């Protein structure tokens, strides 16, 4: 970007700051300025034009600098653009594209406007490829597809970020580009994220776009826009991209702050009337395209598990489902604390194989029955043998879904372990023993290529879960062969 004198000379238009309200500046002059145009102050700071009145231009400040009344401001004639190029992977940027850690220049740089309309329907395709999160419960019950927009919703400290990191780890290891938008969080959180990516060796496939709570509201507001612009850059190169926006409730809170300062009429919960438009415009830019895909995982925070909040319902309406992290389940020790009954995936099943779809259907109905039985047990009723079996199997399945934060389970491994559980491989085993033996199988699946190929081949021959279970009942040595049981 050039300096103030250059733009003043080039466009020949000048304005003078009349009023300053926190991050909003009102300037007179600039007769031909247009909305979303970048303006530059004589001190070199930049701002974004939000609206114009007969007398004033309303400018959103994108820096901390103290602008005073009387400061000169010039038009640039440009929309807010982000410089993206080769070498962006592994970097941490702010929404204006300034590197927060590695200041070396990018190669083959191209400028992209950050606030553009979404791609047309002709450029899109149906979601058809699965996106494995590496989290067994999600991959089996609420599966995701590449290009899906899935809301990650739940109270604070319920393991949402942990799940997102597992998903990123799972995808980045497969070469998927992962972009993490840290929206107005603590600086410490962003540093932790950087360290996590470096420790897991996935930095080369990730980009962090971060703003901390100490940054100007205008800059925080732009974070998801910049993140999705980077996602579009990779999408246009034919790549599949995973975009995490953590979190959209914070984003909305900052937009509310800006709107109230700008004296916009407050709507429900004091949010401006266009908050749905602002969020849905970002969400619509994600999806499955003829060339590449952008899978968006926006995050929303709830209060006391209330899913009926204004923003929460807005975000649910503009996404293809949601994964609900339940504080009650978290307090009961479930990890991940995903509530399978209140989570929804609208297009994820379309990306599954017939076998996975069948497992998902079977599992969901079983979990419903188990939950009902569990509630029934609260009355202290005597249970039949059949009910007792359901309860025992249910406990084992729940235990199977309890997964350490740093482990990733592949879809095939999930399917075979669950089928083994169903087939009674661990019928008489204690939960601890079952978990240990499952870990042995997981380890063998990871290191023993012949075993892995054999399991994958076995799975590919079945379309129905019941057939797979029957097969495992008759051939349990496939799994038992990898377990060292004490007699």
Partner 1 sequence: MYSEILSRVKTSEEKEQLQDEIEALKVSLYERGAVFEDMLKTRVRAWASQQIRKDLEGGEIDKEKYLTVLIEKLKEAKCVKLSIAFEPTQVAIDKFYTFITGEIGENVVLDITCQPKIMGGAIIIYEGKYRNFSLRRVFEEESKTFNEFILKILAR
Cα–Cα dist 160/470, whole Å: 36
Q: Which of 4, 23, 25, 29 is the binder for partner 1 (CB under 8 A)?
A: 29
For partner 1, which stretch binds (CB under 8 A), given 27-35, 365-373, 451-459, 466-474?
Answer: 27-35
Region from 23-31, 209-217, 264-272, 408-416 binding partner 1, contact rule CB under 8 A: 23-31
Residue 145 backbone phi and psi in degrees, to 5: -120, 160
The region of 13-21, 163-171, 184-192, 315-323 touching partner 1 under the rule CB under 8 A is 13-21
Is residue 346 flagged as an active site residue? yes
What's the token pair of residue 386? 């059949």
* Candidates 11-19, 76-84, 250-258, 371-379; binding stretch for partner 1 (CB under 8 A): 11-19
Closest CB 227 distance from partner 1, rounded Å: 35
Residue 27 or 138: the one with the smaller Cβ distance to partner 1 is 27
Q: Does 415 bind partner 1 (CB under 8 A)?
A: no
Render 95-108 in DSSP notation, one character per residue: TTS-BSS--PPPEE
| Per-residue b or e along 277-298, where b marks 16 or more CB atoms closer than 10 Å to that residue's CB | ebbbbbbebbbbbeebbbbbbb
Please measure the distance between the N-terminal and C-terminal CA atoms of the chain and give it in whole angstroms.
Answer: 74
Q: Which of 460, 455, 456 is nearest to 479 (CA)?
A: 455
Cβ burial, residue 30 (10 Å; 0-12/13-18/19+)? buried
* 12 near partner 1, rule: CB under 8 A: yes
β-strands 151-154, 293-301 pairing: parallel
Q: Is 17 in the site for partner 1 (CB under 8 A)?
A: no
Residues 72-101 that bind partner 1 (CB under 8 A): 74
Does residue 31 bind partner 1 (CB under 8 A)? yes
Closest CB to partner 1 among residues 39, 228: 39
Q: Does 42 bind partner 1 (CB under 8 A)?
A: no
Supply the minimum distance, in Å, between the C-beta of residue 182 and partner 1. 38
User: CA nearest 20: which of 52, 56, 54?
Assistant: 56
User: CA-CA distances (angstroms) from residue 13 to 40, 46, 53?
Assistant: 11, 16, 17
Q: Considering just the CA atoms, what is the radius of gyration of the chain in Å?
A: 26
Please identify which of the residues 346, 357, 436, 485 carries the catalytic annotation. 346
* Token couple for 110: 């191209």
- Shortest distance (Å) from residue 20 CB to partner 1: 19
Q: Which residue lies nearer to partner 1 by CB, 77 or 267?
A: 77
Residue of the chain from 1, 28, 89, 187 that contacts partner 1 (CB under 8 A): 28
Q: Are 19 and 26 in contact (CB under 8 A)?
A: yes
Q: Which is nearer to partner 1, 16 or 376 (CB)?
A: 16
Q: Nearest approach, Cβ of 205 to partner 1 (angstroms)? A: 46
Block residue for tokens 């401006």: 272
Give yes or no for a contact between 130 and 146, defined as CB atoms under 8 angstroms apart. Answer: yes
Shortest Å distance, C-beta 160 to partner 1: 48
Comparison of 52 and 405: residue with beta carbon closer to partner 1: 52
What's the number of CA atoms in the CB half-sphere (13 Å) around residue 75?
Answer: 19
Q: Is 15 in the site for partner 1 (CB under 8 A)?
A: yes
Binding-residue total with partner 1 (CB under 8 A): 11
Interface residues toward partner 1, by CB under 8 A: 8-9, 12-15, 28-31, 74
Tell me the catalytic residues.
346
């Amino acid at each position: 970007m050039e300096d103030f004198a250059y733009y003043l000379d080039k466009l020949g238009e000048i304005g003078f700051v009349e009023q300053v309200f926190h991050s909003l500046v009102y300037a007179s002059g600039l007769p031909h300025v247009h909305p979303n145009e970048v303006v530059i102050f004589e001190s070199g700071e930049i701002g974004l034009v939000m609206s114009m009145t007969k007398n004033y231009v309303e400018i959103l400040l994108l820096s901390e600098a103290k602008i005073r009344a009387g400061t000169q401001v010039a038009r640039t004639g440009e929309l807010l653009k982000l410089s993206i190029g080769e070498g962006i992977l592994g970097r941490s940027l702010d929404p204006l594209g300034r590197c927060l850690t590695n200041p070396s220049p990018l190669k083959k740089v191209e400028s992209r406007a950050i606030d553009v309309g979404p791609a047309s329907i002709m450029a899109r395709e149906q979601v058809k490829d699965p996106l494995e999160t590496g989290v067994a419960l999600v991959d089996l019950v609420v599966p995701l597809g590449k290009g899906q927009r899935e809301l990650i919703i739940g109270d604070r400290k319920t393991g949402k970020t942990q799940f997102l990191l597992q998903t990123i780890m799972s995808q980045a290891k497969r070469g998927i580009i992962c972009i993490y938008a840290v929206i107005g969080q603590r600086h410490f959180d962003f540093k932790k994220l950087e360290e996590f990516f470096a420790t897991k060796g996935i930095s080369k496939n990730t980009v962090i776009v971060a703003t901390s709570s100490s940054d100007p509201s205008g800059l925080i507001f732009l974070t998801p826009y910049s993140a999705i612009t980077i996602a579009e850059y990779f999408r246009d190169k034919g790549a599949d991209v995973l975009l995490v926006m953590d979190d959209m409730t914070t984003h909305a809170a900052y937009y509310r702050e800006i709107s109230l300062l700008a004296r916009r009429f407050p709507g429900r919960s004091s949010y401006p009337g266009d908050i749905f438009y602002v969020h849905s415009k970002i969400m619509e830019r994600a999806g499955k395209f003829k060339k590449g895909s952008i899978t968006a995982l926006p995050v929303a925070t709830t209060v006391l598990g209330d899913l009926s909040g204004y923003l929460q319902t807005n975000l649910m309406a503009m996404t293809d489902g949601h994964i609900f992290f339940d504080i009650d389940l978290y307090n009961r020790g479930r990890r991940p604390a995903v509530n399978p009954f209140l989570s929804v995936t609208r297009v994820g099943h379309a990306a599954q194989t017939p076998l996975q779809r069948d497992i998902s259907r079977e599992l969901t109905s079983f979990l419903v029955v188990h939950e009902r039985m569990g509630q029934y047990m609260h009355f202290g009723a005597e249970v039949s043998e059949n009910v007792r079996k359901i309860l025992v199997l249910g406990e084992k399945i729940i235990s199977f879904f309890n997964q350490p934060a740093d482990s990733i389970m592949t879809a095939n491994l999930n399917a075979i372990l669950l089928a083994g559980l169903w087939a009674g491989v661990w019928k008489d085993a204690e939960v601890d023993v079952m978990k240990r033996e499952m870990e042995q199988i997981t380890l063998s699946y990871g290191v023993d290529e012949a075993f892995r190929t054999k399991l994958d081949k076995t799975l590919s021959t079945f379309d129905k879960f019941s057939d797979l279970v029957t097969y495992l009942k008759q051939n349990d040595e496939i799994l038992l062969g990898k377990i060292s049981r004490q007699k």
